[in-house]
Amino acid sequence: MVQLTRSFVISRMFFMGFLISGAAFAQTSPIESVSAASSTIDAAAPDDAVGQAIQATLEPLRSAFPPLLTSRRHQRVDVSRVVLDFYMHRNYRAAWTDDRDVVQLLKSLEDTRIDGLTPTDFRITELAQAHESLMAAMPSTAQRAMFDMAATRTFITALLQLRRGKVDPSRLDIHWNFDPAGGGAREDMDNLFAALDAHDVARAFAEAPPQEEIYRNLREGLARLRQVRDAGGWPKVTEGQSLKPGMDGVAVGQLRARLVAGGYLDPHLAKKTGYDDKVIAAVKKYQTEQYLGADGVAGAATLAALNVPVEARIDQVRVNMERARWLLYKLQGTFVIVDIAGYKVAMYRDGLPIWRSRVQVGKPVRSTPVFQAEITYITFNPTWTVPPTILKQDVIPKVQNDPGYLAANRIRVLDREGNVLDPSDVDWSNPRGIHLRQDAGPDSSLGQVVIRFPNDYAIYLHDTPHRELFAKTVRATSSGCIRVENPLQLVELLFNDPVRWNSAGIQKQLANGRTENIQLPVKVPVLLAYWTVDLSTDGRVTFKPDIYDYDARVLQGLSQPTKLPPLDLRRAEIPLVVTGQGNQP
């Protein structure tokens, strides 16, 4: 038996390239050929009848596509390609001849529910019944081959869903560009295939999901919410009237019970009915964690959030576990990450957080896109060229209503060649061939600095004069770009040069007043991500408003059944053409 010298890791690189098709949003991707040096393609042994049957069944796939399974440009690929490669590299030997492996597989498939997946996707009952049939009778060669291929397909499908998700995010969001890097696919596949030979199926499933603490906390949170559901759910609080400090009565008693059930109030205080200081503190904590504005009053928004059914919160956690499977592999080394729905940004160095700040993000009608890029340079004392959408929808109406608007905001009118025009010479009822540029200055729309990461969406991080908006709980206030509360701190960290680009050096650069682009010595990855859960300091899952209504489509994808072929051993047949050594008839 092949023993694994390291913990079985279905590594990030492998799952960047080998992700499942058959989920609702997946499709076959272009593929690249395998060089002769990188693979050995042999036939089943002459005395291996089951192997011969497996090879005959898979033979049409070899002519459909070469065995290495994906291009670096794509994330998703038909799982049949993985199955073919699996058997080719074991000379088509059956993989599930040990009943212990099958038992582990069935148990592990059932346990995928703890990761928010749907065990029935994997046709566990069919697989178990087929296994029992094989043990109870003398199965034919064709039946043994059919079962083996079905078990392998299910094994690979489940592991791939656990590692990098069931739903293809690129089919949900046209901006999605978290493309995987290539490399190491053969070695990673060998690790996967070795799990069966090592009789380590359960361990393979244990190590397939992300191993980061955030994912473990989400899994634990999901389990706790399911316990609440199974116990009957959370107590409901009567809506229709705001509950305020000093009040007493049945509704306040319901509120206290709900706060106890959520872990916000001491259980010994559940039976009281007064809105006292303990309740005020608990409500404020709940409001803070739910992005509701912590005033201590259980108003309409707070009561509505408290009354969200636990089943809906379970689905919300499942959606975000899926997002974790999409993204957690990216969170390594040095990077900046924007939590769009959480209105915050953080910088990590060597995988550890070193800085955080509040941000303002795009309004729902001008949402901040989800994508990745690299921060390459900083613009000091930036001018601002008004984007076309803002020009048409925001600025031109203001100019029409107030002819002095442009001068008051230091905005110049330019023609296509960049020549400055007199605003009075422009027909503002139908302006053509112009663009507007705001002069640099601390009160300009971009403030003192812009943090640039070239992308197709004209999105960047920047300073802002609208600092009062950082005090708001809901900060979806921009036209798509990300306004940062403490951008100069981030600039200093990005340069990572305590001699030239310390705080004093940055202030000196700003003081000269010139608009200037300064390249970073090292590019820094930036990820604009979307999550609708948070984790409290004690690991409890808390919930954010889904400001862009993205959760529903992810949940829909999770709810779509995985397209695995049915398993009916009565229909097992060996193809008429069976190839032998060297593909000879």
- For this structure, is 462 an active site residue? yes
Residue partners of 329: CB distance under 8 A and separation at least 6: 12, 15, 16, 164, 210
Q: Which of 117, 220, 123 is nearest to 167 (CA)?
A: 117
Q: Are 45 and 227 in contact (CB under 8 A)?
A: no
| Amino acid symbol at 500 | R
DSSP state of 395: I
Tokens (6 digits) for 133: 């049939």
- CA–CA separation, 25 vs 171, rounded Å? 6
Three-class secondary structure assignment of 204-263: HHHHCCCCCHHHHHHHHHHHHHHHHHHCCCCCCCCCCCCECCCCECHHHHHHHHHHHHCC
- CA–CA separation, 309 vs 324, rounded Å? 23
How many other C-beta atoms can be found within 10 angstroms of the C-beta atom of residue 364?
9
DSSP state of 447: T
3-state SS assignment for residue 76: strand
Q: Which of 95, 100, 105, 82 is nearest to 44 (CA)?
A: 95
How many other C-beta atoms can be found within 10 angstroms of the C-beta atom of residue 25?
18
What H or E segment, with its residue span, contains residue 461?
strand 461-462
In 307-432, which residue ranges form alpha helices assigned H by DSSP?
Answer: 310-327, 388-390, 396-401, 405-408
Chain length of the chain:
585
How many other C-beta atoms can be found within 10 angstroms of the C-beta atom of residue 7?
11
| Amino acid symbol at 535 | L
Active-site position among 131, 268, 462, 466: 462
- For this structure, is 435 an active site residue? no
Q: Which of 127, 151, 170 is nearest to 19 (CA)?
A: 170
Active-site position among 74, 89, 199, 481: 481
Residue partners of 85: CB distance under 8 A and separation at least 6: 67, 68, 69, 189
Residue partners of 293: CB distance under 8 A and separation at least 6: 287, 301, 473, 474
Which residues are marked as active site?
462, 481
